[in-house]
Structure 1
Amino acid sequence: MTATTGLDLTAYTGTYTIDPAHTQIGFVARHAMVTKVRGTFDDFDGTVAFDAANPAATAVRVTIQAAGINTRNNQRDEHLRSNDFLAMEEHPQITFVSTGFRMTGDESFDLTGDLTIRGVTNTITIPFTFEGASADPFGNTRLGFEGSVAINRKDYGVSWNAALETGGFLISDKIVLEFEVSAIKNA
């Protein structure tokens, strides 16, 4: 996304709405120390405001409904919504509000912001790759991004676990958040 690639950033100035039908916000956790469990958040919305004249002023806001967690297992999903994990009744939303944007390469950038889970806010930096821009069949300008970041769930008060007889714990502290984003430019 820099001028060194011949990419004209001015074409991307504007406000975008994250398209939930073509965006995935997911996570990965190690389970029983032998495998990984993947899940998604299926109910979210977000906006991106980008100004090519001042890329550092980029503003991103995402709101995820905790009830939309989906690991393809209803019993596990209900447990994740409970006070042992997301405490959905008291904290129905997970939010991310950007506080910084920095280009790190021709088509890569770091997005820094405040992630709030269970009412606990921590600053994280997510490395992203710009995947491209296109006009869709409906005449909308779309931008694509992919990124991921590892967080420690205990930093957000999510500390429930169970010891395994063979040693170790049922669920890893490290959770990888994954983002595949399609954003549509607002008219």
Structure 2
Amino acid sequence: MKLVKVASAILALAAPLAIAQPSTWKSDSAHSDAEFVVKHLGISNVHGRLGKVNATITLDDTDITKSTVNAIIDVTGLDTGNSSRDNDVKGDNFFNVVKFPTATFVSTSVAKGGLGLLVTGNLTIKGVTKPVVLNVAGPSAPITGMDKKPHIGFEATTTLHRTDFDIAAKMPAAVVSDDVAITIDLDAAKQ
């Protein structure tokens, strides 16, 4: 009887530790994307999608600030809805997707603030790495997806300066704005 009580006590103490372990979530590429908006000639917004987003989130439920994000975006899938413009934007002056087919984001800190979280990290585009801050809404309440796994959602926004990443660095801002608004939507499944 004494052995059962000791075992029960150990299990009771260990249960919160098991629950407190960080969990890993991976983006569902069919329901996640990264979009951008840039001003053209100061009069119209050009919208586009970058390629597939492959993100891994380590979520610490007990202390969200200990969470991490690593993402790879396939820039070769860039699409603005105009094939001629897409070819130009994928070319040497803009993204140079032949040489730099992906962009990456690696978080360095997570803090509460903004829409819910402020995720600071290093963004690399065209081999240039700069710190950026993502204003993140989420995580949403988990729901069970068709794959029978829990899914959570995030929406992140930021504004980049294209010239910081050597994207069309010689193009005047009067033609294509230097400010580029980015929105990232993630549906992430628990692993």
Shorter chain as normaliser: what TM range?
Answer: 0.7 to 0.9
8 Å contact from structure 1 (residues 25, 179) kept in 2: yes
| Alignment-mate amino acid for residue 85 of structure 2 | R
Do the aligned partners of 1:132 and 1:145 also contact (CA within 8 Å) in 2?
no
- Mapped to 1, the partners of 2:171 and 2:186 lie a distance apart of 31
- Within 5 A, what are the aligned runs for 1:132-171? 132-158=141-167, 159-161=169-171, 169-171=174-176
Structure 2 CA distance, aligned partners of 1:151 and 1:26?
A: 12
User: Displacement, 1:62?
Assistant: 0.8
For 2:143 and 2:81, how far apart are their aligned partners in 1?
A: 32
- The residue that corresponds to 1:86 in the other structure is 95
Q: Which has the higher helix share?
A: 2
- 1:183 corresponds in structure 2 to 188
Q: Distance in 2 between matches of 1:52 and 1:20?
A: 24
Distance 1:38 1:146, change over 3 A: same
Distance 1:11 1:137 in 2: 26
**Structure 1 residue aligned with 2:43:** 34
Structure 1, unpaired ranges of 5+: 1-9, 163-167
Given that residues 33 and 53 in structure 2 are in contact (C-alpha distance below 8 angstroms), is that contact kept between their aligned partners in structure 1?
A: no
Aligned to 1:109: 117
Using the TM superposition, give the Cα deviation of residue 54 of structure 1 relative to its aligned residue in structure 2, in angstroms: 3.7
Q: Read off the aligned partner of 1:153 and give its amino acid letter.
A: R
Q: Counterparts of 1:27 and 1:48 in 2: how far apart (Å)?
A: 22
Residue 141 of structure 1, CA deviation: 0.4
What does the per-residue CA deviation read over 1:92-138, in whole Å, with 9 as the maximum and x for residues that have no partner? 21110111111227x71111100001111000111111143211233
8 Å CA contact 2:51, 2:75 repeated in 1:
no
Superposition deviation, residue 56 in structure 1: 2.4
Q: How many residues align?
A: 171
8 Å CA contact 1:18–1:183 kept in 2: the answer is yes
Deviations 1:37-92 (A, max 9, x none): 11111323111111223432212111112211011111111111111101112212
Please state whether the residue corresponding to 1:76 is helix, strand or coil.
helix
Matched, 1:120 2:128: yes
Q: Is the 8 A contact 1:85 1:160 kept in 2?
A: no
Unmatched segments (≥5 aa) in structure 2: 1-18
TM-score scaled by length of structure 1: 0.84
Q: How much does 1:11 deviate? A: 8.4
- Quick check: which has more Rg, 1 or 2? 2
Q: RMSD across aligned C-alpha pairs, in angstroms?
A: 1.9
- Specify whether residues 145 and 110 from structure 1 end up closer, same or farther in structure 2 by C-alpha distance, changes over 3 A only: same
Amino acid at match of 1:175: V
- After alignment, is 124-133 or 92-101 more displaced? 124-133
Q: Sort the Cα spacing of 1:76 and 1:12 in 2 relative to 1 into closer, same or farther, 3 A.
A: farther
